[in-house]
Amino acid sequence: MATIRVRNTGERITDEAQVRAFLESNNVYYEHWPLDALPASLRGKFVLSDDEKDQILEALRPQIEALAKARGYVKWDVIALSEQTPNLEEMLKKFEQVHTHTEDEVRAIVAGSGIFVIKGKEGYFDVELQAGDVISVPERNPHFFTLTDERKVVAVRLFIDPSGWVAHPYEDPEFQRA
Ligand SMILES: [Fe+2]
């Protein structure tokens, strides 16, 4: 279940109904998927072959297709990041820059955890995501994604137009760094 940390006040929101209400009030789409259909052999695995990524997509097909149909996504894939990923730390430094996209950014966390840092109506907030959490940052909304201290995640990404999914840097004097 996702939890929130508001950067300028340090407030934490952990109650499910309050998390949902907070995200909704900031126009951030959120849902939670059951992951029972995932093959046991792939649980807790963070280095995945293409075949294993396909198995994950197949296991989650009903949820993926329902979300795609409801929100217009046409392509999806699986990303896996862990300390085994070459140049992970450099990659994260690059990730941790506020930016925008011309389409929304969707992630369904399959294993591990991750953090979206998002500019809300009253400043930046962190959404810490666990397995089963699905989030969409609205188009043109400043944000970035990073990992938690456990440094590993498997996530499904969904796209409306993969070729248009480019990060536009967003210089923001209001960004609350911590
Ligand atoms: Fe992004």
Model confidence pLDDT, tens digit, residues 26-50: 999 999 999 999 999 998 899 999 9
Higher pLDDT, 165 or 107: 107
The residue among 140, 151, 141, 133 whose CA lies nearest residue 117 is: 141
Domain count, the chain: 1
Question: pTM here?
Answer: 0.94
Residue 172: inside a domain: no
User: Would residue 60 count as lying in a domain?
Assistant: yes
Cα 40 to ligand 1 centre (Å): 30
* Token couple for 165: 């999914």
* Confidence tier at 164 by pLDDT (50, 70, 90): low
Instruction: Decide if 135 contacts 19 (C-beta within 8 A).
Output: no
Q: Is the pLDDT of residue 178 over 80?
A: no
Calculate how far, in angstroms, residue 138's C-alpha sits from the geometric centre of ligand 1. 10
Which domain range does residue 114 map to?
Answer: 3-167
Condensed to tens digits (0 to 9), the pLDDT of residues 42-79 reads 988 999 999 999 999 999 999 999 999 999 999 999 99
Residue 16's CATH number: 2.60.120.10
CA distance 146 to 91: 10
Highest mean pLDDT: which range of 41-50, 154-163, 164-173: 41-50
* In a domain? residue 173: no
**In-domain check, residue 80:** yes
Separation of 128 CA from ligand 1 center, angstroms? 15
**Is 178 a member of any domain?**
no
Question: How many angstroms separate the alpha carbon of residue 144 from the centre of ligand 1?
Answer: 5
